[in-house]
Structure 1
Amino acid sequence: MFRFFKSLFGNRTRPDYVALLAAGAIVIDVRTPEEYRMGHIQQSVNIPLQTLSHKMGELAKKKKVIITVCRSGSRSGMAKNMLQRAGLEAYNGGAWTSFQQYTK
């Protein structure tokens, strides 16, 4: 019975973001450049969601885990799905303001 619910709702455990970052994961902020300029995680890279598909090859060459962030977690969730469909290991870090606790 448990497997049924797990398959329905997926694994809801949060990745160990501190360990992923320590191992070299890349943080991609998928907000607009204007939003990014208003505040962002220091080591993040700004790749707006609407341009992410054009950067897939470049990201794949890096062979790094990718953590996506945005304002609320919605766009970063879409970005994570796009990256995973392209065969990359990606996680949705959610809102950048909440995620920055893992970067200190």
Structure 2
Amino acid sequence: MSVADIIQERKGTIVDVRTPQEFNGGHVAGAINIPLNEVPNRIEDFKALNAPVVLCCASGNRSGQAHRFLQQQGLDCYNGGSWLDVNYYQSLAVR
């Protein structure tokens, strides 16, 4: 299953790893904000989320870093790239 399919079928949880200021400037509806610098200290929070976790940020760089780290911790997660791409895929979701 692709990241686009996961988002469109509304499976899992979308986590935006940008700063709170960036997140407040615009984000995917229903996404939660866990900034990249907090990810290592919030493993239990990630484990409690509905899997799979789709990570996003501004360009895909920070979400890629979070993805690699969380995957090493055994979490079911994907790098969704830019929040704008994730937002687009969500807009195509079957309602």
Normalised by the shorter chain, which TM-score bucket? Answer: 0.7 to 0.9
Listed as ranges, the matches of 1:1-104 within 5 Å are 15-18=2-5, 20-21=6-7, 22=9, 24-62=11-49, 64-104=51-91
Residue 46 of structure 1: CA displacement?
A: 0.4
SS of alignment partner, residue 59 of structure 2: coil
Greater relative contact order (CA < 8 Å, ≥ 6 in sequence): 2
- Name the counterpart of 1:7: none
Coordinate RMSD, CA, aligned = 1.6
Q: Provide structure 2 residue ranges, at least 5 long, that are not aligned to the other structure.
A: none
Larger radius of gyration: 1
Structure 1 pair 72–23 and aligned structure 2 pair: CA distance change class (3 A): closer
Q: Provide structure 1 residue ranges, at least 5 long, that are not aligned to the other structure.
A: 1-13
For the residues of structure 1 that align with 2:37 and 2:3, how far apart are their CA atoms?
28
CA contact (8 A) 2:3 2:80 kept: no
What TM-score, normalized by structure 1, do the two folds share?
A: 0.78
Structure 1 pair 64–95 and aligned structure 2 pair: CA distance change class (3 A): same
Aligned-residue sequence identity (percent) comes to 32
What TM-score, normalized by structure 2, do the two folds share?
A: 0.85
For the residues of structure 2 that align with 1:63 and 1:99, how far apart are their CA atoms?
17
For the residues of structure 2 that align with 1:56 and 1:66, how far apart are their CA atoms?
12
Give aligned pairs, total: 90
